[in-house]
Amino acid sequence: MATSDYRDYVTSAQRVATMVLIFMSYLGNSLTLYVLNRPTSLFRASTNLYLSTLAVMDLLYTTLGPVCFILATNPKEYFNWNIRTYNKILCKVHPFLTYSASTNAVWLIVALTIDRMICTVLPLKAKTFCTKRCAIKITLGICLVIMTINTYILVNNNLMSRNSVVTCENNVRIVPAIMDAVICGLIPIILMGVANFLMIQKLKELKMKKQVNGGIPKNQLPATDLIEGYTITEISPPSYHVSHPLIFMIFFVVQVTDGQSVSMPPIKPKKDKAYKLTIVIAMIFSVHLFYLVTVIPEYAFNLVKELYEVDKNQTLFTLSRLFNTMWYSNFSLHFLLYCSSGPQFRAKIAQLLLELWQNLWCCVCTSARTKEQATQMVTRSFTMKTRSLAEQAQSLEDDEVQNEDP
């Protein structure tokens, strides 16, 4: 296969995958914003703010990045338009906004991780630092610092013509790649790693302390009682078990590092406050793992692209498109991570979808009698799921402790 044909084939495959990611990003992030900003919040006020701002940044990057990529790589016989090469101003402004949105998203994850670490390791400081007012200041500070750092794009980006092809490039190419690798890769990984390590150490410390003071057997000590200094209460024979592998991973790390045999620990009912906090930590862990898998290869490969001609090597070109698509997925699939690791989030989303389905079904009907019959039919068909989800969501709303600022 000729090099040009191969490149067109790989680019077409990436375009299809990117369009799927765009759809999932708009749908997932919109649902995330809707669920997080309902009158009854799922998480702490600071956590809600970080996750909501992260969803906004994901939507902004999806519009500036993947959508513009689709427009720029369309076949020439169709609508083909590269926004960066339209004029000199867009060559500077578009990359500036794109890089700012992606970098802000990374550092919002870091801020969320540190926020949860403070709640876990330093619970007495939570009322001071883990508030909505403090989260707003941190979010604005992150945006201001990131946009200040990215001003080099406004200075160095210019239109260039090579072989009658106009491109938008940075005058100093290797420096931006190194800055991205350090600011969006190395430093966030170190900070998130340290925060996770401190949370694990706090779990181990509390576990040993509560074993000595509480006299509870090791195989009946729930991890939900090891977070934020919650006291252990009397435990009946276990009837609940850890339902998510990331929560079990926390037990695994703590038990293995203590030289204990690994067993599936019992936990309290889902409405327990400590259990809900454990779910939040598991959700953060899943976001971290996804970040490492999807984002770090792109930053590392950007350094390689400055040393080799990627377009002339089929293997490097394929890797470039693959890592770029993985990079796009980091801004599109956070919604699925929230659903997979958060039963609170799943309950709200499922209840919302069932309500929309019932309303849509009723709108199709014309007469009032038919509407009533349709509603009864849909309700009967989803009786078990609707009832369980509604009860679960209501229980979460009733037991949730609001942490809004006075």
State how far the Cα of 68 lies from the Cα of 88, in Å rounded to an integer: 17
CA atoms within 13 A of residue 269's CA, in its CB half-sphere: 6
**Residues 251, 222 contacting (CB under 8 angstroms):** no
pLDDT tier, 243 (very low <50, low <70, confident <90, very high otherwise): very low
pLDDT tens digits, 344-358: 666 777 777 777 776
Q: What integer pLDDT is reported at residue 235 of this predicted model?
A: 35
Q: In one letter, which amino acid is 241?
A: H
Query: What is the structure's pLDDT at 197?
Result: 82
The confidence band for 62, taking pLDDT boundaries of 50, 70 and 90, is very high
Examine the pLDDT at 225 and tell me if it is beyond 60: no
Q: How far apart are CA 350 and CA 391, in angstroms?
A: 12
Please give the C-alpha separations between residue 244 and each of 13, 248, 255, in angstroms, as whole numbers: 33, 7, 17
Phi, psi dihedral angles at 265 (to 5 degrees): -80, 150
Average pLDDT, stretch 216-242?
Answer: 39
- Between 73 and 116, the more confident residue is 116
Percent above pLDDT 70 for the chain: 61
Q: Where are the alpha helices (DSSP H) in 122-244?
A: 126-129, 132-149, 151-156, 174-180, 187-214
Phi, psi dihedrals of residue 79, rounded to the nearest 5°: -70, 115
More confident residue, 108 or 384: 108
How far apart (Å, rounded) are the C-alpha atoms in residues 44 and 332? 24
One-letter identity of residue 59: L
* CATH of span 3-198+275-341: 1.20.1070.10
| Statement: residue 284 has pLDDT above 90 | no
What average pLDDT does the segment 13-20 reach?
90
Taking the C-alpha atoms of residue 391 and residue 399, their distance in angstroms, rounded to an integer, is 12
pTM of the model: 0.72
Where exactly are the structural domains of the chain? 3-198+275-341, 203-257, 354-399
